[in-house]
Amino acid sequence: GRRGVGDRRRMGVLDYFINMGTRAQPSQRVLAFAVLAQSIRAPRTPAAIREKVTPVLDAAWADPASAPSLVQAIVLMRLEGQYTDRISAYNQAKSR
């Protein structure tokens, strides 16, 4: 079906942003994380996309170099409500 093609194309785009999120300058990283966080925002997100993106964001939370960009991206996209626990843990760790 045509939807499969759209999903595959979306996967390719996600790969691009996943690579950008792991390698790029902080400003590009913010963009990449914004796209990735947005891509799994909807409850109806296909499982394949969620399974691809979630580990990348989990790794970013754990990485002191990436976490600030991820937090910035989440605030930018106004997704704080979905990440309240993560953000407060991040803020606590930062203030230690």
Residue 66: is it exposed, middle or buried by C-beta count within 10 angstroms (0-12/13-18/19+)? buried
Write down the pLDDT at residue 10: 82
Write down the pLDDT at residue 5: 64
Confidence of residue 2 (pLDDT cuts 50, 70, 90): low
Write down the pLDDT at residue 8: 75
Contacts of 86 (CB under 8 A, 6+ apart): 61
Between 94 and 69, residue with greater pLDDT: 69
Quick one: tokens of 51? 């399974």
| pLDDT tens-digit series, residues 46-74 | 999 999 999 999 999 999 999 999 999 99
E strand spans, 2-48? none
* 41 φ, ψ (degrees, to nearest 5): -70, -40
The whole-angstrom separation of Cα 37 and Cα 5 is: 22
